[in-house]
């Protein structure tokens, strides 16, 4: 990736933390990184596998497990009747049944778990179930759900201003409907857990989970045991992306159930196809909008109906649809606005968190509308976007969102301007228009789109974190915190923070596996909050120990504690200097406490759900991306040729890791918008259930020119060293790819018509949009 834009913004100081390699980089590339299936097990370890129910929904009339229980190697089969405690493990609201008993809510819903001597024996035995079901017609679409009042949770509404009055003032209106596909998480490590029984009815649960405390809670409830008897440990995951926030819990519970009764270690690991069939996806949405705007293209009034297809239970859908509503504006002032969100129930697997958590689905409708407004008025879409940005034209009266949050630290106009200049957007746009005039088959599209993404859990109580630091007498430091590592570099950033606080080399720091017996009651590693929350908690713990050490030295040398400095593995003050490890030895003999528990809670946030108003986010992360796409109008095939990104990271804690997150998020988001198509049959069973029929982006899909640079300006809020979250926001940057495809298709009408293009924009959908555009031209 070549450097396109200067990292250092004009007039700002560059105080970037020195990049450090990922703490597990060597293990990753050498194959030594241990995941659940790599953990050394006891000699008596057994293996579990879920027994899938019938491939339809309805009433279960017969469940014959005789073939399962007598299969080779089988030790025992567990059903719902064997569960001593809770059978419903819903994360927030009830509905997620661990093992079905009489009703099959979605195709292949687990009805039992088989335990055998080997993984293969368990997997083969699980396929021998015989079920009979009295089937019913499933509800699978938004239209069917609305017609039957089929919801998992009540609707929610947000309003700002008098929409009806504003519509009376507009010169143009635009309406549209956009169907947005879901997405498979496709983490490299499938759902997995290993549970070891300990003495006193205690269990040690190794789980590939983003939320160890949630796993601890539901295991304790399923087994009717107190929480202190369950310890959950997570060293790392082979990817999560939200798919292991709530939906790792069932598999840990099933393994724990078997381990508790059999008093033997139990491992469970799903095959890829079973994992895809049994776990939730990114929610598909159907969004309707109506926009009123003036002759310049300025939005004056807007209405959005957001419909999330949630599956058979609430899972995390209430918060996901809420976030889609929060981000219906993306980066734009909507004028007088009304946003309503529906949580539709469908007879499929329950959908769950996915990177962006509903935000991406909420943003697409307004981006679709702005492209269409530009075509209606004969203007460049970028000009329409700039005109409608929050704070556009220097106005301060349009810096409040439709849910009442005042926007601060908003520099998207500057980001867009700098990116547009450096990627030569205006010149290339003119060149492509000329090219498309003379090229009958290949059309080039160009689009630049922004992202404004709110950072915080929208459930206020989750915005807290803890950390534990021990300094040993040789000066080495051990850190434990509530966040989990899924490849994103969280442990690396936490280690960097602690090293910075003590002024020592990062090699002194060891970040240990996340464990519920070290830091309790933790929040999930999600909502891009991992570093914001756990980094501040780790800093708090480090500062406590530093203050004790400073007080010890201040008393010894009769100096002010404020003049004692930790830097370069030394601790110095007026008239003295000593090595860090020498100080630790001295402090130990002076009986200074070298351990501390840190804690952090995010300030300023709060949202009144009844009123639909408040401040759900601590701050906004921002960015912009420009995509160049070449489309073959004979086949619908297309190639993303070039992408330029400028993304706001505050004061980056680790520029290399941040660039990795930006590039990975962009490609994953591009896959969601272009190639990753979920296909379900008429019973609600997933047909695209393997890499053979579900296409994630490959290396060949990476843009030939891929420029990524960081917009570094200290966060206006007091985050850890004024950095910004970088996990989820880049996922939405590839909206520019989708818009660029639409731009290329629009050239067939001399940019007079905006094509309709649902997502994912597969080759087939692009081809149909091309044909529709050609027909529209003929009909003029």
Q: Mind telling me the catalytic residues? A: 728
Backbone angles phi, psi at 732, to 5 degrees: -90, -10
DSSP secondary-structure letter at 751? Answer: T
- Residue 668 CA to residue 457 CA, distance in Å, equals 22
Residue 395 CB partners (closer than 8 Å, separation 6+): none
- CA dist 441 → 291, 453, 633 (Å): 33, 37, 5
- Computed from CA positions of residues 577, 581, 582, 584, in that sequence, does the dihedral angle turn out positive or negative? positive
DSSP secondary-structure letter at 400? Answer: B
DSSP secondary-structure letter at 692? Answer: T
Q: Beta-carbon neighbour count of residue 261 at 10 Å? A: 16
Residue 685 CB partners (closer than 8 Å, separation 6+): 55, 56, 107, 108, 277
Can you give the length of the chain in residues? 780
- Residue 754 CA to residue 736 CA, distance in Å, equals 15
Alpha helices in 473-573 (DSSP H): 490-502, 530-557
**CA-closest candidate to residue 649, choices 759, 723, 746:** 723
- Residue 695 CA to residue 342 CA, distance in Å, equals 29
Please give the structure tokens belonging to residue 241: 């992306």
Please give the structure tokens belonging to residue 59: 């009433």
Q: Are 276 and 146 in contact (CB under 8 A)?
A: no
3-state SS, 58-76, equals EEEEEEECHHHHCCCCEEE
Owner of token pair 């555009």: 773
Q: Is 243 helix (H, G, I), strand (E, B) or coil?
A: coil
């Amino acid at each position: 990736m070549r450097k396109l834009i200067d990292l250092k913004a004009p007039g700002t100081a560059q105080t970037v933390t020195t990049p450090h390699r990922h703490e597990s980089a060597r293990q990753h590339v050498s194959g030594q990184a241990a995941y659940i299936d790599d953990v050394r097990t006891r000699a008596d370890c057994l293996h579990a596998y879920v027994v899938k129910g019938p491939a339809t929904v309805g009433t279960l009339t017969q469940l014959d497990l005789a073939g399962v229980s007598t299969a080779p190697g089988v030790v025992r089969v567990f059903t719902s009747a064997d569960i001593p405690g809770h059978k419903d493990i819903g994360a927030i609201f009830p509905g997620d049944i661990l093992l079905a008993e009489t009703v099959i809510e979605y195709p292949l819903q687990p009805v039992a778990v088989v335990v055998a001597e080997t993984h293969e024996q368990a997997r083969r035995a699980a396929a021998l179930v015989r079920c009979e079901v009295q089937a019913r017609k499933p509800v699978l679409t938004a239209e069917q759900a609305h017609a039957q009042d089929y919801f998992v949770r009540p609707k929610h509404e947000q309003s700002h201003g008098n929409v009806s009055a504003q519509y009376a003032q507009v010169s143009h209106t635009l309406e549209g409907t956009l169907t947005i596909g879901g997405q498979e998480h496709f983490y490299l490590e499938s759902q997995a857990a290993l549970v070891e029984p300990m003495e006193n009815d205690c269990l040690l649960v190794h789980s590939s989970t983003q939320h160890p405390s949630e796993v601890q809670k539901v295991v304790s409830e399923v087994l009717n045991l107190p929480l202190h008897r369950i310890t959950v440990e997570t060293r790392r995951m082979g990817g999560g992306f939200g798919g292991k926030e709530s939906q790792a819990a069932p598999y840990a519970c099933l393994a724990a159930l078997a381990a508790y009764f059999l008093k033997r270690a139990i491992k469970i690991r799903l095959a890829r196809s079973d994992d895809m069939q049994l776990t939730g996806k990114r929610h598909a949405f159907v969004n309707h909008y109506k926009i009123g705007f003036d002759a310049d293209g300025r939005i004056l009034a807007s209405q959005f109906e957001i419909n999330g297809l949630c599956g058979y239970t609430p899972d995390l859908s209430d918060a996901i649809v809420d976030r889609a509503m929060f981000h219906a504006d993306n980066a734009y002032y909507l004028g007088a606005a009304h946003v309503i969100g529906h949580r539709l129930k469908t007879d499929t697997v329950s959908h769950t968190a996915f990177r962006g958590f509903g935000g991406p689905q909420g943003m697409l409708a307004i981006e679709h509308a702005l492209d269409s407004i530009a075509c209606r008025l004969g203007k460049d879409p970028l000009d329409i976007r700039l005109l409608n940005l929050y704070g556009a034209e220097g106005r301060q009266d349009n810096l409040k969102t439709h849910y009442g949050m005042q926007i601060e630290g908003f520099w998207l106009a500057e980001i867009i301007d700098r990116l547009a200049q450096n990627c030569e957007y205006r010149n290339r746009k003119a060149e492509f228009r000329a090219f498309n005039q003379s090229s009958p088959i290949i059309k080039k599209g160009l689009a630049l789109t922004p992202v404004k993404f709110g950072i915080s859990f929208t459930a206020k109580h989750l915005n807290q974190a803890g950390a534990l630091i021990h300094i040993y007498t040789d000066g080495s430091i051990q850190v434990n915190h509530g966040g989990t590592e899924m490849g994103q570099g969280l442990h690396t950033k936490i280690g960097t923070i602690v090293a910075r606080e003590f002024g020592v080399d990062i090699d002194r720091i060891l970040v240990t596996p996340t464990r519920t017996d070290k830091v309790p009651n933790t929040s999930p590693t999600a909502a891009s909050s991992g570093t914001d929350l756990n980094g501040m908690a780790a800093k708090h713990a480090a500062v406590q120990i530093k203050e004790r050490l400073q007080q010890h030295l201040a008393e010894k040398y009769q100096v002010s504690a404020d003049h004692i400095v930790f830097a370069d593995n030394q601790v110095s003050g007026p008239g003295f200097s000593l090595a860090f490890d020498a100080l630790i030895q001295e402090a130990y003999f002076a009986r200074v406490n070298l351990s501390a528990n840190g804690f952090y809670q995010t300030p300023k946030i709060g949202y009144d759900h009844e009123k639909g108003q408040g401040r759900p986010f601590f701050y906004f992360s921002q960015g912009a991306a420009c995509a160049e796409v070449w489309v073959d109008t004979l086949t619908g095939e297309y190639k993303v040729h070039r992408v330029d990104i400028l993304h706001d990271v505050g004061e980056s804690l680790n520029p290399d890791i941040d660039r990795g997150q930006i590039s990975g998020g962009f490609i994953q988001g591009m896959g969601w918008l272009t190639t990753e198509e979920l296909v379900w049959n008429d019973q609600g069973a997933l047909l695209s259930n393997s890499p053979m029929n579900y296409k994630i982006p490959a290396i060949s899909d990476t843009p030939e020119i891929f420029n990524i640079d960081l917009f570094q300006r200290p966060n206006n809020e007091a985050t850890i060293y004024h950095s910004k979250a970088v996990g989820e926001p880049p996922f939405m940057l590839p909206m520019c790819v989708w818009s660029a495809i639409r731009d290329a298709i629009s050239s067939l009408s001399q940019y007079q018509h905006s094509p309709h293009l649902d997502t994912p924009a597969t080759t087939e959908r692009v081809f149909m949009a091309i044909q529709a555009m050609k027909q529209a031209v003929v009909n003029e």
